[in-house]
Every structure is written in structure tokens, then in C-alpha cells.
Amino acid sequence: MIGDSSKYVLATGAEAVRRLKVVNDVHGNDSRALLQKAGLRPGMKVADIGCGTGNLTLWMAEWISPMGSVNGVDISEGQIQQASENAIGLGFRNASFSVATAYDTGLLKGSYDLVYSRFLLMHLDNPFRALREMSALVKPGGVLVCEDGDFESPFSIPGNRDYERCFELYCLAGKSENAHFQVGLELYRMFLDLGYAKPNVALVQPVISEGEAKRLPEWTLEECSPLLIKRGIAEKEEIDDLLSRLSKLAQDRTVLFAMARMTQVWAEKQA
């Protein structure tokens, strides 16, 4: 990773592929609907900041083809390597990827029709600064689109203490790295502060009853467990016990998992 004061609490590169694919399975429908509402269309020049392994970046590349192009940016070399390999393997010619911080993406200012991020701002120590950089990339008449979570919002039906503890620990991991795991709640206000007079806003919260996606809370906890142990936030024994109970809970089809509630905000930049 290159210079940034908040450290990403989850795995990157090859180890991140499985979890980010499932993240996209869970949140992808809502994200695609958001991007379509925001006006994503063929021929556009698009940037995906904090693109991870590029799942949604490549969906956008397909949607805007053949004339449109997308730049994915991520601070992690491992994520960008996975995204690039994936793009080449799938034959995409209109998707390119670069390693940079969201605070200074290196992309051309004022040149993008649409600039987007998902689950990026929550990991930063200064989300507003990154959103300002994203806004600067948008050309007049273009659209800034951002969605991010509130990780104190997940709940299960019926309620379950292990599920709650999983997200409690995840939020503590975020706090220990100066991240903003409730940034979704601040997103609308940040758009106003950037000068967007009437941002569009929606709240969505996916619910899962079965399948691999139900392992997501467990895998997220597993990925941040080295940090939790290192910081003395939780002991290995507690985490191991919790992981095995979460795995059993995930197999119980009578239990519903409500994932992080997302705030989706989008607005056109005035000419």
C-alpha cells in the first residue's frame, strides 16, 4: 500500500477475491440500480475509486461499451493486480486500472462523465477529502455517485448476540484505524458541503436468507481478526468460537441476515 494514514482493515489481493465477489453478490443489484438511476450509459467516461478487485468496474465497462471507458483506482497493488488480470482474462479493452490513493488519484480533473465509489469512504481517515477529489474529477454536467455503509446497522431476524458481536468487533477494528464505519450517515451532508444543491438520496439494506453470501459477516471478521488480536480488542479464542457459531448460524435458513444499510447519493455537477 502507498502512503495513507488510515490502514485498510481487510485482506487485499488474492485473499480478497472471494469476499469481494460475495460483497458484489449481496450489494450488486442495488449498486447497478443506483448507477442506472444516476444515468450511466454507453459511451461515458467513468472512474471507479477504491475499485477493489474490480467486480463492479467490469460490469460498468460492459454497460458503457463499446465507446465508453472506465478507470479503476485503488491504493492496493494486490487489488489492482487482481482487477487487471480479471479484465484481461475476460477480454475487456475499455477498462484500465491504476494504483493511487483516493486523496490524489492522478486522474484528469474535470474530465469524467461519472465518478463512483462503493465501500471506499468508510475505510478512510478523511472521507470528505476523498469525496472532494472525486468531485473534482467530474466534468460540468457529469455525475458524482457514491454509496457507503453504516456498520452499526446490520441485524438478524430473530436477533442473535453472535451476529451483533461480529459487527461490534468489526466497528472496533475500524475505529482503531481511524476509519469511518458509519460514513453512510454523513454522505448526504458531505454532498451539500461540496456545493451540490439538491443531491438525490436513497437508503437500501440487503437481506439474505441462505447461500454463500450468508458467510460474509464471518469472512469479514476472519479477515480483520489479526488486527483485533494485535490491538488487544479481542482474544483469538473468542474470535475462533464466534467464527464457528457464525458459520452454523449462516446455515440456518430460518434466520435472516440484514447486512449494512447503505446510503446512496448522486448529483449532477452544475455546468
Ligand X SMILES: C[S@@+](CC[C@H](N)C(=O)[O-])C[C@H]1O[C@@H](n2cnc3c(N)ncnc32)[C@H](O)[C@@H]1O
Four-residue CA torsion sign, 39, 41, 46, 48: positive
Using CB under 6 A as the binding criterion, the count of chain residues that bind ligand X stands at: 22
Q: Minimum CB separation from ligand X for residue 44, in Å?
A: 18
Contact between 20 and ligand X per CB under 6 A = yes
Q: How far apart are CA 150 and CA 248, in angstroms?
A: 25
Figure out which of the listed residues 40, 59, 82, 123 binds ligand X, where binding follows CB under 6 A.
Answer: 123
Q: In whole angstroms, how large is the CA radius of gyration of the chain? A: 18
CA 113/CA 92 separation, integer angstroms: 20
Q: How far apart are CA 181 and CA 199, in angstroms?
A: 22
Strand ranges, E, within 50-206: 69-74, 95-99, 112-118, 138-150, 155-157, 200-204
Burial of residue 150 (number of CB atoms within 10 Å: 0-12, 13-18, 19+): buried
Per CB under 6 A, 116 contacts ligand X: no
- Contact between 118 and ligand X by CB under 6 A: the answer reads yes
Binding of ligand X by 23 (CB under 6 A): yes
Options 18-26, 35-43, 85-93, 150-158: segment touching ligand X (CB under 6 A): 18-26
State which of residues 17, 35, 61, 75 lies at the interface with ligand X (CB under 6 A).
75
Q: Does 143 sit near ligand X (CB under 6 A)? A: no
Nearest residue (CB) to ligand X, 20 versus 224: 20
Q: Name 88's Cβ contacts closer than 8 Å, sequence gap at least 6.
A: none
- Considering only the stretches 17-25, 35-43, 196-204, 233-241, report the one whose residues sit in contact with ligand X under the rule CB under 6 A: 17-25
* Contact residues: ligand X, CB under 6 A: 4, 8, 12, 20, 23-24, 50-52, 55-56, 74-76, 79, 101-102, 118-120, 123-124
